[in-house]
A and B are shown apart, each in its own frame.
Chain A
């Protein structure tokens, strides 16, 4: 079955440490997205990519980095510069063009040790 796989499901970070969240899709979608979800705030866009080797900052990109070397993969690195990284992170993908629904993975919950 086609879908989006995020790993790990739970992740713990020590102070000053970078961590990378994995996102893989086999839907053959060109566009991929990373969101952060905090209680009562809905989803906020961190980064998005419309095509391989290209990505754009979203609304809250500071302290995060991404790469898009393959169509299927869009990993997110939470750097030590992100001072409040505890959140639920969701990856999504969609067909290109406007007004397309996005398909979501099951998320990664990141906590600080």
Chain B
């Protein structure tokens, strides 16, 4: 079965410093992985997706993630945090099984950005 583990429930950084949000996955197959962002009382917005092409995936708003099969990791990074990056971030893996498109969500990492 597929699963994702977000290693930190809360991360706090200062504006202008790097961001690292950690995610490990478990999958018997080559997985499809996603990062989503959620601002308060809003829906989820897709940041980026990995679907077995390049292992370094660039997303919106300066975020990127690297797929590392040997470490079963898909960590999200950004070189310089902005106040508007404060939100909750979800690491997601696509469940395998026929034509269905079920996603399995991590429990989220709340990112705080200090001025």
Are A and B part of the same complex? yes
A31 to B94, CA, bound (A): 14
Known: A97-B101, A98-B32. A106 touches B46 (CB 8 A): no
Q: How many Å from the CB of A31 to the closest CB on chain B?
A: 6
**Contact of B49 with A42 in the complex, beta carbons under 8 Å:** no
Q: Is the interface of B mostly helix, strand, loop or mixed?
A: loop
Q: Which residues of B contact A (CB under 8 A)?
A: 9, 32, 34, 36, 41-46, 49, 51, 90, 94, 96-103, 105-108
Closest to A10 in B: B41
**Contact of B105 with A102 in the complex, beta carbons under 8 Å:** no
**Contact of A99 with B43 in the complex, beta carbons under 8 Å:** no
Closest to B33 in A: A99
Within 8 Å of chain B (Cβ to Cβ): is A107?
yes
**Contact of A102 with B100 in the complex, beta carbons under 8 Å:** no
Q: List 10 A-B contacts (CB under 8 A).
A: A43-B105, A44-B105, A48-B102, A88-B41, A92-B43, A98-B32, A101-B49, A103-B46, A104-B36, A106-B42
Within 8 Å of chain B (Cβ to Cβ): is A26?
no
Contacts of B43 in A (CB 8 A): 4, 6, 90, 92, 104-107
